[in-house]
Chain A
Amino acid sequence: NAGVIQTPRHKVTGKGQEATLWCEPISGHSAVFWYRQTIVQGLEFLTYFRNQAPIDDSGMPKERFSAQMPNQSHSTLKIQSTQPQDSAVYLCASSLEWGVRAETLYFGSGTRLTVL
């Protein structure tokens, strides 16, 4: 089991460009999360999918961020018109099942996004 796989590890974009980040959750995990990690804000929840369905995107900056999960083996986080304040490490995590009872999150290595 390779764990949660995130690509690319590093991405550098110019201000105003688009960035797409990829996540492959652990096979068989039905819950997929995206978090953003910065020194100032710490770990911030962005969005959550269960069985590929979007459940909660309340942490996503509405205008420029979008996330999809077209199939059970990958999810994407797209940031349009990137801004310097979007610079962060974006973490994808998956969990076996997430119902009423919270379970262990398995994190990927993250994508470090730098917006110049």
Chain B
Amino acid sequence: GEKVEQHQSTLSVREGDSAVINCTYTDTASSYFPWYKQEAGKSLHFVIDIRSNVDRKQSQRLTVLLDKKAKRFSLHITATQPEDSAIYFCAASAGGYKVVFGSGTRLLVSP
């Protein structure tokens, strides 16, 4: 079955710097790649997604890049702020209802 890997368990940046969180997936049929954010003590909420018909999607300070050949996708956060500190989960779906999540990357933004 699909496996999604997040290679960074923790990422520390200074406020104002950019952060990049990387993920890889195994199923070439995967076509939907959402990202979720989990702040301390809270549940997951959706932040951005990308579908396989495009290789880049931007929403304000967030950009998702998708490299289908390498089976890799990444979340780029520019001008980081302390409120960006959270665990970010990448996920992949080959359609249907199964969404497989990565293990999460804890982003720490220090002032």
- Complex: how many Å from CA A104 to CA B98? 12
Contact with B along A94-107 (1 / 0, CB 8 A): 00001011101111
| Total residue contacts A-B, CB cutoff 8 A | 50
CB distance from B104 to the nearest CB of A (A): 7
Evaluate contact between A43 and B101: CB separation under 8 angstroms. Answer: yes
Evaluate contact between B97 and A31: CB separation under 8 angstroms. Answer: yes
- Complex: how many Å from CA A104 to CA B102? 16
B89 at the interface (CB under 8 A from A): yes
- Complex: how many Å from CA A17 to CA B98? 31
Residue ID in chain B nearest A103 by CB atoms: B32
B45 at the interface (CB under 8 A from A): yes
CB distance from B48 to the nearest CB of A (A): 10
How would you classify the secondary structure of chain A's contact residues: helix, strand, loop or mixed?
strand
Interface positions of B from 34 to 58, Cβ below 8 Å from A: 34, 36, 42-46, 49
Evaluate contact between A110 and B97: CB separation under 8 angstroms. Answer: no
- From B44, B89, B97, B104, A56 is in contact (CB under 8 Å) with B97
B103 at the interface (CB under 8 A from A): yes
CB distance from A79 to the nearest CB of B (A): 20
- From A102, A106, A108, B97 is in contact (CB under 8 Å) with A102
- Complex: how many Å from CA A50 to CA B97? 10
- Complex: how many Å from CA A42 to CA B45? 16
